[in-house]
């Protein structure tokens, strides 16, 4: 592939889609795996296979510890959060009953639930934000029915960055003996949610966003929630039987694992832990404040910036299509951002942006204040139709 070197001058504000660039230590760990020991974990008994299996186990421990889970063998690697959420929601569908989610959920929650509602296996209610845009845990409580099985919420919104009150929601789930499932795809890394403190049964996440791992990685940490596999095949154990041994994590990870990806994910999580959530939050807060203050002084821009925010500034430019604006930002100013709709349709409805979409700037640890200033200049030109 020929790389256009002018790409070096880009401003990357699309970290909620996937973080970029990745830390050098992630690239090096993946490179070393591919070069030095990339055998098939859990299949053969030779030295390299054992090294590979050990690397997967260490990654399992790293991810479990990151969320203060108890048992690494209950952490399952999947290819992304979408696969993990399908596994979890499929398990709930097998129990049959009612689930509650919020207006902040992503299509990877909405669509599997909708599908199982069509087959009559699940019914659902959606908890709407209050007038301030926040989720009031009491509103979730008011939706609980006799047949409610679980509450599923995001740690943070992929559109506005709003951080949901998981502690209070977890307490309500505990009181009502419901499974509490948290999709940490947005936010885990900027925040380090504790499974035990927040009474969470299942954490589902993706590796390529705030954990700075590669694409093609995700995980489910499930404690006190017996997952049902969505894939059947080789697990490296009980090979002569058509029925896989019911042992976690093997039964939930049929097929060859993405070893370089898992190694990269573990390294990303280690990197983030070392940097520390406090430092990351401080950095993102500074970027958000600069952006938010700057947007206020540009006429014709409406912004949606919650106080509790994992690192996103969403806005629109009056009279300009959001896709057109991000196209101008990209082609004229080298700014990578996302426009249009963001896989969270209920929130677009709530924000009344379901016709226009929104522009999303999502910040990462490598972004700089001067990039915010550059984008504010660009937006000023665009808003005045000077470009």
Ligand X SMILES: Cc1ncc(COP(=O)(O)O)c(C=O)c1O
**Interface residue list for ligand X (CB under 6 A):** 80-82, 106, 108, 154, 158, 183, 185-186, 206
Q: Which is nearer to ligand X, 181 or 298 (CB)?
A: 181
Instruction: List residues bridging with 335 in a β-sheet.
Output: 11
Minimal distance, residue 25 CB to ligand X, in Å: 21
Count of CB atoms situated within 10 Å of the CB of 273: 15
Distance (Å, rounded) from C-alpha 76 to C-alpha 142?
33
Q: Which is nearer to ligand X, 158 or 356 (CB)?
A: 158
Q: Which is nearer to ligand X, 52 or 86 (CB)?
A: 86
**Beta pairing, strands 122-127 & 97-102:** parallel
Distance (Å, rounded) from C-alpha 368 to C-alpha 139?
39
Q: In this structure, are residues 220 and 78 in contact, taking their beta carbons and an 8 Å threshold?
A: yes
Q: Which is nearer to ligand X, 21 or 239 (CB)?
A: 21
Choose among 178, 155, 195: nearest CA to 92: 178
- H/E segment holding residue 109: helix 107-118
Q: Which is nearer to ligand X, 183 or 199 (CB)?
A: 183
Query: Which residues lie below 8 Å from residue 225, measured CB to CB, with a gap of 6+?
Result: 88, 91, 179, 181, 201, 202
Choose among 206, 232, 234: nearest CA to 220: 206
Q: Residue 165 class from Cβ within 10 Å (0-12 exposed, 13-18 middle, 19+ buried)?
A: middle
12 phi, psi to nearest 5 deg = -100, 110
Q: Which is nearer to ligand X, 202 or 378 (CB)?
A: 202
Minimal distance, residue 86 CB to ligand X, in Å: 9
Minimal distance, residue 344 CB to ligand X, in Å: 7
Minimal distance, residue 105 CB to ligand X, in Å: 7
Distance (Å, rounded) from C-alpha 205 to C-alpha 97?
24
Work out the angle at residue 98's Cα, subtended by the Cα atoms of residues 92 and 101, and round it to the nearest 5 degrees: 85
Minimal distance, residue 57 CB to ligand X, in Å: 23
Instruction: List residues bridging with 14 in a β-sheet.
Output: 362
Minimal distance, residue 347 CB to ligand X, in Å: 10
Q: Which is nearer to ligand X, 98 or 106 (CB)?
A: 106
Minimal distance, residue 186 CB to ligand X, in Å: 4
Minimal distance, residue 166 CB to ligand X, in Å: 13
Distance (Å, rounded) from C-alpha 325 to C-alpha 348?
18
Distance (Å, rounded) from C-alpha 340 to C-alpha 357?
4
């Amino acid at each position: 592939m020929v790389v256009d070197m002018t790409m070096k001058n880009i401003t990357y504000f699309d970290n909620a889609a996937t973080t970029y660039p990745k830390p050098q230590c992630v690239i090096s760990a993946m490179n070393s795996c591919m070069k030095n020991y990339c055998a098939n974990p859990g299949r053969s008994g030779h030295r390299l296979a054992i090294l590979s299996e050990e690397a997967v186990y260490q990654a399992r421990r790293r991810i479990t510890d990151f969320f203060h889970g108890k048992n690494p063998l209950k952490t399952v690697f999947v290819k992304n959060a979408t696969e993990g959420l399908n596994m979890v929601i499929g398990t709930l569908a097998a129990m049959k009953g009612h689930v509650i989610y919020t207006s902040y959920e992503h299509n990877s929650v909405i669509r599997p639930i909708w599908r199982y509602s069509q087959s009559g296996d699940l019914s659902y209610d959606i908890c709407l934000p209050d007038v301030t845009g926040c989720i009031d845990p009491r509103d979730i409580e008011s939706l609980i029915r006799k047949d409610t099985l679980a509450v599923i919420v995001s740690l943070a919104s992929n559109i506005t960055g709003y951080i949901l009150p998981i502690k209070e929601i977890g307490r309500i789930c505990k009181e009502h003996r419901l499974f509490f499932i948290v999709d940490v795809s947005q936010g885990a890394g900027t925040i380090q949610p504790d499974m035990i403190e927040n009474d969470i049964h299942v954490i589902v996440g993706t590796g390529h966003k705030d954990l700075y791992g590669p694409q093609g990685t995700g995980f489910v940490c499930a404690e006190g929630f017996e997952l049902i596999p969505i894939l059947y095949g080789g697990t490296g154990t009980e090979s002569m039987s058509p029925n896989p041994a019911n042992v976690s994590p093997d039964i939930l990870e049929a097929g060859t694992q993405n070893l370089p990806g898992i190694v990269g994910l573990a390294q990303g999580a280690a990197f983030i832990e070392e940097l520390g959530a406090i430092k990351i939050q401080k950095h993102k807060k500074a970027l958000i404040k600069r952006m938010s203050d700057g947007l206020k002084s540009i006429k014709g821009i409406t912004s949606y910036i919650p106080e509790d925010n994992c690192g996103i500034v969403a806005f629109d430019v009056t009279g300009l299509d959001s896709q057109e604006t991000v196209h101008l930002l990209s082609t004229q100013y080298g700014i990578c951002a996302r426009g249009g709709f963001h896989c969270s349709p209920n929130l677009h409805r709530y924000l009344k942006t379901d016709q226009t979409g929104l522009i999303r700037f999502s910040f990462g640890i490598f972004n700089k204040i001067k990039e915010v200033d550059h984008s504010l200049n660009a937006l000023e030109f665009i808003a005045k139709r000077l470009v």
